[in-house]
A = this chain, B = another copy of it.
C-alpha cells in the first residue's frame, strides 16, 4: 500500500510531479483525530523534534540557572536561517556559559538566508558552525551539560546524559516504551525514530499540557511561550514556519529535513505530524498549510493559503503551473 498523494505540481494542463505522504493528528492522550497513509512506520522527526529536545533544558533547571531568555529558548528550538539576529544571540549565549563556537559539534553550512550568505561572500567571510541552523539547539545541549556537571565535549553522543534525557522525555511525551531506533542527524546529534501517531501525540502534550507532571508542564509551556513570541527566531525572514506562526498567534509549526512538519494547536488541544515520502520540503510546507486549513486552525486566506496553493513561475516570472495541496486527502 502506498501513501496517498498530498501535493501535486502542475505544468500547463498536466500534473507534472506528485508527492505522497502520511500524517497524524492526535490529542494528548493519543486519540487520533485525523490521519492519512501509514502512520505507524517509524520516521525520523529531524528538526521537528526540537521543541521536545528543549524540554530537558528547562525541566532540569538549566535554563533558570543560566537565566535563559525566551529569545534564547526560541533559538534553541530553531532551524534558524543564520541571520545576524540568530548568530549574535547564539554567540552571546555561548559566552555566558563559558563556551564558544569551537565547542559546537555541528559542522558549518551556508546560511539559509541568502542575503546573509551573499554579504558573507562579498566580505570573504567563511561560514562557521554558528551559521548551522541547529547551533541554538546545540548551545542548549551545552548549557544542559554545564548544569548537570557533565562534560560539554561529547554532548552530541548517544550516551551523553543530554541525549539520554531527550530520549526519555520523547518516549514519555509520545507514550512509547523501550529503546527507540535512532540515526545521526545532519548536525551530528542523535535523532530518534517513531511513528507519526506517537510524534503527533508528543506534540499534543505542548498543546494540552494538563496531563504532564508540574515540572514538565512548566517546561512545555515555556517552550510554547518562547516559540510563539519569536517566530522570526524559530526560522527566519521569509520562511514558512515564521510566516505561519506570525499570522496564527498561539500555534507552533516546525519543519524538519526530509519532508517532515509538526504543528501544535493549543486552542484545539491537538498535535500534528506529517512526513512526505520523498523528503521534499516544497511538499511538506504545502501539506502542513493545507492540514492547518482543513483543521480550521488558521485563516484560509493568509499565509497558509498562499503555501497550500502557489504559482510555479518560469525564469521570466510568469506562472506556468502550480504547486497545490490535494485538499481531499486532508478531509476537505
Contact = CB atoms under 8 A, between A and B. Distances in A.
**What band does the interface of chain A fall in when counting residues whose beta carbon is under 8 Å from B?**
35 or more
Interface string A305-330: 00000000011111011000000000
Contact of A14 (B16, B132, B183, B279): B183
Contacts of A317: 107
B277 A11 contact: no
A9 interface: yes
Interface in A160-207: 181-188, 191, 193
Contact of A13 (B20, B129, B181, B188): B181
Secondary structure at the A interface, as helix, strand, loop or mixed, is loop
A121 interface: yes
User: Taking the full assembly, how many copies of this chain does it contain?
Assistant: 2
Contact of A182 (B12, B43, B193, B318): B12
A184 B198 CA distance: 43
A280 to B, nearest CB: 6
A18 interface: yes
A19 interface: yes
Contacts of A14: 42, 44, 181, 183, 193
A250 interface: no
A319 to B, nearest CB: 9
Interface of A: 2, 9, 11-14, 16-20, 42-44, 105-109, 118, 121-122, 124, 129, 132, 181-188, 191, 193, 258-259, 276-280, 283, 314-318, 320-321
11 contacts: A11-B184, A11-B191, A12-B181, A13-B181, A17-B276, A18-B277, A106-B316, A107-B316, A109-B315, A184-B314, A188-B316
